[in-house]
Amino acid sequence: MKFRGVDYYDIDSLLTAEEKMTRQTVRDFMEAEVKPHVAEAFNDERPLDMAKLAPKMGELGIIGSFIPREYGAAGSSYTEFGLICQEVERVDSALRSFIAVSAGLVMYPIWKYGSDAQRSKWLPLLASGKKIGCFGLTEPNVGSDVSSLETTAKKQGGNWVINGAKQWISEASIADIAVVWAKTDNGIRGFLLEKGIKGFEQKRTEKKGSMRAGDVGELYF
């Protein structure tokens, strides 16, 4: 479908041909692969099949699009990233949540603050959609008030031991890797937790009023 939007400020005239092409590609994908399934997924509260969709989105280069190409992402401009979010949001807000969280809250912190080993292992897997990430900040008792976080991380021997819980986490139950924020003796630190490690539980929240085509849930440590 040809792009036709409401553009009172003629933003379109500021976009490059490449940016417009990205927008059209994402629109075509959303129309063909997602839109036909959204109403049913929302009504039945059965999240979209991310095992199928994420690798297709990875092939289009729309997961973590602004992360540099050396890590398997598209190395796009932030404008293109905004257009990707706009087109995904147009069809389903929960899937846009996946795109926004993957890029800004999972891949960006790994790229900026992770070790070389974490970057080279996780960024290509996340960009390709072969693995899914989530971001755990919000908690049951304190919401997203960072200064009051109750999740703690303490070093015992050579290991970190994390205790606490996170709530309202996008892709919580299906994530292969979680960027988790916890209080340590030296302030708040981010940790990468892989699915299946001892003491790490992931759960989907049910009976939501909105964002019902997407996975939101809880993490327990």
143 is a site residue for ligand FAD (CB under 6 A):
yes
- The binder of ligand FAD chosen from 62, 84, 88, 137 (CB under 6 A): 137
Q: Does 216 bind ligand FAD (CB under 6 A)?
A: yes
Pairing of strands 152-156, 159-163: antiparallel
User: Segment contacting ligand FAD (CB under 6 A): 23-31, 32-40, 138-146, 187-195?
Assistant: 138-146
List Cβ<8 Å contacts ≥24 apart for 41-49: 41/212, 41/213, 42/92, 42/212, 42/213, 43/212, 45/206, 45/207, 45/208, 45/212, 46/213, 47/94, 47/174, 47/204, 47/213, 47/214, 47/215, 48/92, 48/94, 48/95, 48/213, 48/214
Contact residue for ligand FAD among 144, 146, 155, 161 (CB under 6 A)? 144
Cβ nearer to ligand FAD, comparing 107 with 211? 211
CB 64 within 8 A of CB 73: yes
Residue 173 CB coordination number (10 Å)? 18
Residue 101 as a binder of ligand FAD (CB under 6 A): the answer is yes
Q: Tokens at residue 149, please?
A: 């976080």
Which of 91, 110, 169, 213 contacts ligand FAD by CB under 6 A? 169
- Closest residue to ligand FAD, based on beta-carbon distance: 143
Scan residues 5-64 and list those touching ligand FAD (CB under 6 A): none
168 contributes a contact to ligand FAD by CB under 6 A:
yes
Q: Where does this chain bind ligand FAD (CB under 6 A)?
A: 97, 101, 134-138, 143-145, 168-170, 211, 216
